[in-house]
Structure 1
Amino acid sequence: MGPMNNLLTVEEVKNYLAVEQQELERYIAQGKLQAYKIGGTFLRFRKEEVLNLRFEIQPSSPRRAVKKSAGFFSHITDFWRFNNFYILSTLAVAAALYFILRA
């Protein structure tokens, strides 16, 4: 595995970190990510540094979904969805027993 395999392009880093160009430039300006010029024009980034930055910013990333607590109606809906067969079967058996034993 050569040294070029450890270098990532700007697009690869943006996709891997899930950031826009401005945010990537801010990380470079803040010194959180070191950019290397290859051939004087092409920017590359060390894969190890990108991995370290990803683990550093991942917990506070605004792109992560925020889990909302379920409300009372949601709990009732879930209960009905998973137990409706048993509830309806119990009611049917109770009704059948009522009509059979009533006589």
Structure 2
Amino acid sequence: MSTTQHRVGAQLHQAAKDAQRIADVMELKEQLRAEFGPRGWSIVYSSAGRWWAFRGPMKADRVNETSDVDAGSAEELRERLLVVEADMKSPGRHAAPDEDRSLFAPWDAART
């Protein structure tokens, strides 16, 4: 086998591996979207190999809730989203009214 044939064969092999990886990522994204998409989460796989979930813009009464989550794998992202959603359902998940207002303290001070 010539050097050119060997190089082309290696490139084809790598292309096949890349295509399989893309197919695997797309399948995992679809699974996460099916589970979390109906509850407002968008799923992203970055070129750096990180998994992300985003939602928003958040309404005023939900501004203190988690709007983005990242992870090193699809399974880790799923686990983190389940924790975020469980926290949302637990009593007392919102900050106290004074804490909510403190977010705007610098702006309010500038107005007075």
- Report which structure shows greater RCO (CA 8 Å, sep ≥6): 1
After TM superposition, the score normalised by the length of structure 2 is 0.26
